[in-house]
Amino acid sequence: MKRIRGHRLRYMLGVTVALALWSVTALAADPLKLAATYGDGANPFHLATGSPGELGLLEALAQAFAQQNPATLLWVKAGSGKSLDLLKNRQVDMVMVHAPTAEKKAVTEGWAVEPTLIGSNEFYIVGPKADPAGIQGAQSAADAYRRIAEAKANFITRADNSGTHKKELQIWKQAGIEPGGDWYIPTKDFMTASLKKANEVDGYFMTDSSTWVAEKTNLPNLAVQFRGDPFLVNTYHALVAPSGATAARDIASAFVNFVASEQGQRIISEYGKDRYGEALYQNAEYAQQFVD
């Protein structure tokens, strides 16, 4: 009887150790933190993006797609730079990003395929209502940045290698300025959080128009102070992992095709009108004129 009990104890101990090892291995293999899960279909796929997820557009697209396909969209919240890194490392099946130079490099290097224009918005430079740097009179985004630097007015930078951050750095380069000092305030955070920081410290910040429309009622100290430079148009592309690179890239590719379809494009061009009185995004047909 003692031998049987001893054998059973060793068996249970072995099972416990095995489960513990499996848990550690699983965590190591799948370290992604999901921001949300949309759908309950048998075909899950990982998609990395930032603002389209924050603002609810991704959910609207995923719900419509799930009505036609047995899919589950697993959203990984990341800016464009991080999203592309995840795709390169085969941790996600697709991305929706706004970093044209990095996107082209990804396709050239072969670890991203099927680049598909899906829509656009634009960047606004928002700031204190008194506009202490006088950027309302600026002739370009670079001129606006130059005035902010000369005034040493608080400026919020995401400093996170996102598409927004990449665009910001391009503008500083156009202005011939390397920003730094107490007035240049990094958040290393997403768009909404960075806007709230600008509102808190009476700072300037370059935000996408979609997030501004959705959040402006919560930002009483800020106003749009500069917009309209063609360089501030912000195009979005979807890119997918190459065939065989990830287990779910085929269903991800089907989702891209849906987003680019007439139904998907209608969702994009209408999204936000019912809640905010205006659309948050333009469709791909409009965005095409701004693609190099």
Q: Residues 6 or more apart from 60 whose CB is under 8 A from it?
A: 267, 271
- Could you read off the pLDDT of 240-278 as tens digits, one per residue? 999 999 999 999 999 999 999 999 999 999 999 999 999
- Could you read off the pLDDT of 12-54 as tens digits, one per residue? 444 333 333 333 333 344 569 999 999 999 999 999 999 999 9
**How is the chain split into domains, by residue range?**
36-120+236-290, 122-232
Which residues of the chain have a pLDDT value below 50? Answer: 1-29
**What pLDDT shows up at residue 4?**
42
In the three-class reduction of DSSP (H, G, I as helix; E, B as strand; rest coil), residue 5 is classed as helix
**What pLDDT shows up at residue 292?**
81
**What pLDDT shows up at residue 31?**
66
**What pLDDT shows up at residue 105?**
98
Q: What is the CATH number of domain 122-232?
A: 3.40.190.10
The CATH class given to the 36-120+236-290 domain equals: alpha beta
In the three-class reduction of DSSP (H, G, I as helix; E, B as strand; rest coil), residue 157 is classed as strand
**What pLDDT shows up at residue 17?**
37
State the Cα–Cα distance between residues 51 and 69, nearest whole angstrom: 24
Q: Residues 6 or more apart from 215 whose CB is under 8 A from it?
A: 192, 195
Same fold for the domain at 36-120+236-290 and the one at 122-232?
yes
pTM: 0.85
Planar angle of CA 134, 137, 138, nearest 5 degrees: 95
**What pLDDT shows up at residue 81?**
96
